[in-house]
């Protein structure tokens, strides 16, 4: 199902609505993230006008 929905403009339409809502609330920016190896997600973000600001590696340590 996911593949069948890609490229149809649904994500862009949702982002347009989210931006409209955010502006109406007085926000001046949106933030988002994706995994470092998610090249498709990175490309989509860039196509939607997001600008990459940094890359990070997250760490977790389990405590017994």
Query: Can you give the pLDDT at residue 33?
Result: 94
Q: What is the CA radius of gyration of the chain?
A: 15
pTM here? Answer: 0.77
Q: 57 in a domain, yes or no?
A: no
| Structural domain includes residue 40 | yes
As a 3-state breakdown, the chain gives helix, strand, coil percent values, each rounded to 5, of 45, 0, 55
Q: How many residues in the chain?
A: 64
Categorize the per-residue pLDDT at 28 as very low, low, confident or very high, splitting at 50, 70 and 90.
very high
Q: Is residue 63 part of a domain?
A: no
The domain of 26 spans 2-47
In a domain, 56, yes or no: no
Tally of structural domains, the chain: 1
Question: b/e map of 4-35 (b: 16 or more CB within 10 Å)?
Answer: eeeeeeeeeeebeeeeeeeeeeeeeeeeeeee
Across the range 35-58, mean pLDDT stands at 94
């Amino acid at each position: 199902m996911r593949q069948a929905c890609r490229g149809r403009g649904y994500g862009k339409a949702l982002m347009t609505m989210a931006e409209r809502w955010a502006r109406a609330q007085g926000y001046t920016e949106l933030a988002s993230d994706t995994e470092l190896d998610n090249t498709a997600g990175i490309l989509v973000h860039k196509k939607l006008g997001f600008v990459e600001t940094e890359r990070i590696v997250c760490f977790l340590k389990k405590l017994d």
